[in-house]
Structure 1
C-alpha cells in the first residue's frame, strides 16, 4: 500500500544541532561506567560536571540528568559556595539550580538556546503538543520526575516495550527479547563489541541469526544510536527502556515549566570559556564561587578551560560520543495503520530504518504517530533530504509495516 500524505510533520535534527550534536551519550570501545564516575567528581572544588553522561548509576535518560544535577549541587554546597554559575538549562542544570536555591545558594543559569529544556522540547503540531526530544518517564518506579508528575497530577500513559505490535519485512517474527538476552549472556565484555557479536552470530543457525540481527538493530543500535563498531561492549549492561516507562500526552514541557519556575535563567548566553583559580570562577564576565557545567559531551569538548582539564578527564572524554537518533512526528486526517494495545509499534527491516513508533492518537485525540530512527540509518535517510522528504519516506516505511502486520494476521 502507498501511505496517505500527512497533513503536517515535525522532523528533528538533533545531530546537526550545535548545542546537542546528537541525542545522548554513548561509550566508545574501551570505555566503561567508571569513566562516568570519574567525570562527575569535582575539579579543584570549582568546576563540577553534570548531565546524563555523568550519571554512573544510570545514563542517557532525562531523570539521569536531573539526578546528576542534584548530586552536583550537593557537592557544591559542601564547599560552602554562596554564588554558583550553572551552564545549561536542561534538566541537569535546572535540577542543580533548584537544589542550590533551596539551600540558600545564589544560582545563575546560562543557556545558549532561546528556550529551556536542552534535548527535551515539547513542540506544537497541528495544534497538539508533541515531544520531539525525550518523551518517556523511564525507570518509572525510581524516577524523581515521575514523582513530580504525580504530585502535579499530570496525565501519564504507560508503554509496555515488551509487547509491541511488531512485524518484519521477511516473515513471521519470533521472540526478539529472548534472542537479545541470549546475545547479552554470550558476548565477552573484555573484547570489542562488534567482533564479540560476530563470533556469537557464527554459532547460530540461519533462522537464529535472523532473529538475533533484528534484536541487535532494535534493542541495541536503536537504543544506543550507534553502529556496533562504535560501541563499548559495556553498552550491553547499561539500563535502558522497559521498566514501567510512561509518557506525558501533554508533553514534558509541563515538567520543564515547573522545574524552571523562580530560577534566574539567562537565555541566549552561550559559554565558550570557563576560568577558575583559588578565588573562584569566571564565566561570560560573571564571577562566582563555583560552576556547574551541564552541556552535552561534544559541546564540552569544544569549550576552553583555564587551567585546562586534568589529563585523566581529557582522556575519559575521548571515550565518549553522542548517539545518533532522530524523530519524526506525523499528523494525518485519520488513523490508517493497525492499532496497538498501548500504541507501541516495532518494524524490522533490512537495512534498519524507522524501527520504533509510538501511536499518539488515543492519547492526544488526533491521528498522530511518532517514529524513531538511529545509527547509520540516520545518515541513509537524512543526508541531503528536506524535512518533507524525510517525513514522506517515514510514511512509506510505516505503510510497509502496516502491510506486514495485515499479512501476518491473514
Structure 2
C-alpha cells in the first residue's frame, strides 16, 4: 500500500529561543553546575527580594508544576517577613502561584507582566478553531503534581501519554531497545568527568549495534529533553527527574489552568521590568514602592535585569551555571490523518542528524487531524535559520512523512 502524503493546511511554529522574554524553553545546568545551586537561588535576598520559577526548584525543574511549587515556596517565605505590599514580576505559573497565595492571605499584591498575555512559557494558541499548547503541554509527574489536582477539581479533560511506549522508527533500520540502552548508559558512564567526554568514551567501548542504540538514546533522552548539546550539560542532568511518571495532557489547553490561577489577581500586562532597587525600607520597581518583590522571570532575563544594589556575589556566580535549553515546536493541521495512529498519540523518530524527534498526535483528542512536533538543541539552528514559518512547517512535515514510511517498512518486514 502506498503512503499518500498531503501537505498541511495550517501550522503554528514557535520561536521561544528568539523571544526576548524567555530566550529558550527551560533551564539547564551547565558543566560543573550542581543541583544545590537551585536551592541557593531560591533563598531570600535580605528579606526583600525572592527569586522563583522552574529554574529555582531544587526538587524538580523545567516543568510547569516546578514553577508553581517554587512560587508557593516564595510566597511562604514572604509571609515569614512583615511585608504587606508585594510586587510579583511575571505572570507565569510561578508568579500566579505566589500572587494568588499572598492575595488570599490579605496582602496587597500587584503582578507586572512584560507580555500582552499571562502564562510566560505556557501559551495556548488557536489553530483551525482548536486550542493547542505551543509551550508546555503535559501535566508531568502526575501523581505529585498540584496542577493535576486542580485539573481534576475543575473536571478538565485529560489524556495520558506513555513516554516509555512510543510508536517509534529509525531512519536506518529496525529500532533497538532505546530504554535499555539509556539505562545501561546511565549506570555505566563516569560521572566525575565532563558529560560529553564520558559518553564519548562509553560509546567507544561498545559494539556497533550497541553504540547505535546508545547514540539514539542520547539523542532522545538527553539532547531532546534538555535542548542542548552534551558539551553544554552537567552530568547531573542524568539524575534530574523528567517525563515518564503518568504524564497527561489537556486537549483543551493549559489556558484553562492559567485562567483559573489568575482569577481575581491585579495583573498589569505590557509592563516589562528593567531595574529592581531595594534597601532596608523596601523595593522600588517601575516607580512603584513595595515591601518585597518576587521575581519569576527566566534565568537569561534575570541576568539582564539591573539590581540596585547588585545581587550578592554567590547568587551572581550561581546564575552563571545555568543556561536555557533550545527547544521549539510546530503544530501541523491536515485535511486527513495520513500517518499511522498510535494508542496514546506519542511518536518518536530517530534520524541522523537528529531533527523532529518527538511528536504528539492530537487527532483523536481533538477530533481533527492535528499533530505537534518537537525539535531541540543544534537541530533548531539547522532547521530554523533564515527560514520562514512555512518552510519550517513543510520540512517538519517531510520528517513526519519519513517517520511514517519507516513505520510502514517495518510493518512489511
TM-score range (shorter-chain normalised) is over 0.9
The equivalences for 1:105-184 within 5 A come to 105-184=107-186
Measure, in 2, the Cα distance between the counterparts of 1:271 and 1:69. Answer: 18
Measure, in 2, the Cα distance between the counterparts of 1:276 and 1:140. Answer: 38
Measure, in 2, the Cα distance between the counterparts of 1:240 and 1:385. Answer: 31
Q: 1:223 aligns with which of 219, 222, 225?
A: 225
Q: 1:202 aligns with which of 184, 201, 204?
A: 204
Q: Is the 8 A contact 1:6 1:332 kept in 2?
A: yes
Q: How many residues align?
A: 410
Aligned residue for 1:171, secondary structure, equals coil
Q: How does the TM-score come out when normalised to structure 2?
A: 0.99
The aligned counterpart of 2:251 is 249
The aligned counterpart of 2:80 is 78
Measure, in 1, the Cα distance between the counterparts of 2:202 and 2:242. Answer: 22
Measure, in 1, the Cα distance between the counterparts of 2:4 and 2:368. Answer: 21
Q: 186-195 or 295-304, which moves further after superposition?
A: 186-195
Per-residue CA deviation, residues 195-247 of structure 1 (Å, 9 max, x unaligned), is: 01011111110100000000000011000000000000101111110000000
Aligned residue for 1:379, secondary structure, equals helix
Q: Is the 8 A contact 1:139 1:242 kept in 2?
A: yes
The alpha carbon displacement at 1:3 in A equals 3.9
The alpha carbon displacement at 1:45 in A equals 0.4
The alpha carbon displacement at 1:2 in A equals 7.5
The aligned counterpart of 1:60 is 62
The aligned counterpart of 1:17 is 19
Q: Is the 8 A contact 2:39 2:57 kept in 1?
A: yes
Measure, in 2, the Cα distance between the counterparts of 1:173 and 1:62. Answer: 32
Measure, in 1, the Cα distance between the counterparts of 2:277 and 2:190. Answer: 42
The aligned counterpart of 1:396 is 398
Measure, in 2, the Cα distance between the counterparts of 1:187 and 1:281. Answer: 47
The aligned counterpart of 2:345 is 343
Measure, in 2, the Cα distance between the counterparts of 1:100 and 1:193. Answer: 41
The aligned counterpart of 1:323 is 325
Measure, in 2, the Cα distance between the counterparts of 1:370 and 1:396. Answer: 14
Measure, in 2, the Cα distance between the counterparts of 1:203 and 1:188. Answer: 13
Per-residue CA deviation, residues 135-171 of structure 1 (Å, 9 max, x unaligned), is: 0000000000000000000000000000000000000
The alpha carbon displacement at 1:189 in A equals 2.2
Measure, in 2, the Cα distance between the counterparts of 1:340 and 1:290. Answer: 50
The aligned counterpart of 1:238 is 240
Q: Is the 8 A contact 1:3 1:398 kept in 2?
A: no
Measure, in 1, the Cα distance between the counterparts of 2:209 and 2:189. Answer: 19
The aligned counterpart of 1:358 is 360
Measure, in 2, the Cα distance between the counterparts of 1:275 and 1:296. Answer: 19
Measure, in 2, the Cα distance between the counterparts of 1:324 and 1:114. Answer: 23
Q: How does the TM-score come out when normalised to structure 1?
A: 0.99
Measure, in 1, the Cα distance between the counterparts of 2:218 and 2:4. Answer: 28
Q: Is the 8 A contact 1:2 1:399 kept in 2?
A: no
Instruction: Flag structure 1 segments of 5+ consecutive residues without an equivalent.
Output: none
Q: 183-192 or 57-66, which moves further after superposition?
A: 183-192
Measure, in 1, the Cα distance between the counterparts of 2:184 and 2:358. Answer: 22
Output the aligned Cα RMSD.
0.7
Measure, in 2, the Cα distance between the counterparts of 1:202 and 1:12. Answer: 37
Q: Is the 8 A contact 1:2 1:396 kept in 2?
A: no
Measure, in 2, the Cα distance between the counterparts of 1:36 and 1:293. Answer: 15
The aligned counterpart of 1:4 is 6
The aligned counterpart of 1:300 is 302
Q: Is the 8 A contact 2:115 2:272 kept in 1?
A: yes
Structure 1 runs (4+) greater than 6 angstroms displaced: none
Measure, in 2, the Cα distance between the counterparts of 1:61 and 1:320. Answer: 16
Q: Is the 8 A contact 2:123 2:255 kept in 1?
A: yes
Per-residue CA deviation, residues 79-127 of structure 1 (Å, 9 max, x unaligned), is: 0210100000000000000110121111100000000000000000000
Aligned residue for 1:204, secondary structure, equals coil
Measure, in 2, the Cα distance between the counterparts of 1:65 and 1:148. Answer: 15
Measure, in 2, the Cα distance between the counterparts of 1:192 and 1:17. Answer: 30
